[in-house]
Amino acid sequence: MKQFFPGPLSDNARGLIRRLGYGEHRGHEGQLSYTLRATGELFPRYHAYIEDRDGGLQVNLHVDQKAASYEGTSAHAGEYEGPLVEREMQRITQFVRGLSAPSVPAKPVAKPTTSGKGFWG
């Protein structure tokens, strides 16, 4: 599943995906991607390829259900659609949109008035 988030963004692609809990992963032919475990086990895991593009963020997300079956291959049981991928992309979308939402200025705190008496007075 692919999703583009237009800029301006508060951080670069690498910074944003790492703040979401993803770790760097060097895969096939040394290509950099990012993974996040879906459970306490190594698999299944979310696997994202990201890039800074046109001032925004391009995310290509799928779920690796298991490791490559045969030595020397990169083929794996990956899901590019479905509820797991949709739910994680929704989490990423909410995070990125939350960062770009305009901040609400804090209300000034009124100083308490003093009567000139002490604590016990």
Q: For residue 36, is it within any domain?
A: yes
Q: What is the CATH number of the domain that holds 7?
A: 3.30.530
Q: Considering the domain boundaries, does residue 106 fall inside one?
A: no
On whether residue 50 sits in a domain, the answer given is yes
* Tens digit of each residue's pLDDT (9 = 90 or more) over 28-72: 777 899 999 999 899 999 999 999 988 899 999 999 998 876 665
In terms of Cβ atoms closer than 10 Å to its own Cβ (0-12, 13-18, 19+), residue 59 is buried
Answer whether residue 65 is part of any domain.
yes
* Total residues belonging to the chain: 121
| pLDDT (average), residues 64-86 | 78
Which amino acid, one-letter code, is at 63?
Answer: V
> For residue 109, what pLDDT band results from cuts at 50, 70 and 90?
low
Question: Domains in the chain: how many in total?
Answer: 1
Domain-located, residue 75: yes
Residues 6+ apart with CB under 8 A from 101: none
Report whether pLDDT(5) > 90. Answer: yes
What pLDDT score does 107 carry?
Answer: 58
Q: E strand or H helix at 98, and its extent?
A: helix 83-100
Question: Which residue, 4, 97, 13, 95, is CA-closest to 52?
Answer: 13
Quick check: 80 pLDDT over 80?
A: yes
Residue 121, domain member (yes or no): no
Between strands 56-64 and 45-53, the pairing is antiparallel
Q: Yes or no: say if 57 and 9 are a contact pair by the CB < 8 Å rule.
A: yes
pTM: 0.74
* Domain presence at residue 24: yes
Q: Supply the range of the domain harboring residue 92.
A: 2-100
Q: What is the pLDDT of residue 27?
A: 79
Residue 106 has pLDDT above 60, yes or no: no
Tell which residue, 60, 66, 74, 14, has the closest CA to residue 43.
66
Residue 85 falls inside a structural domain: yes
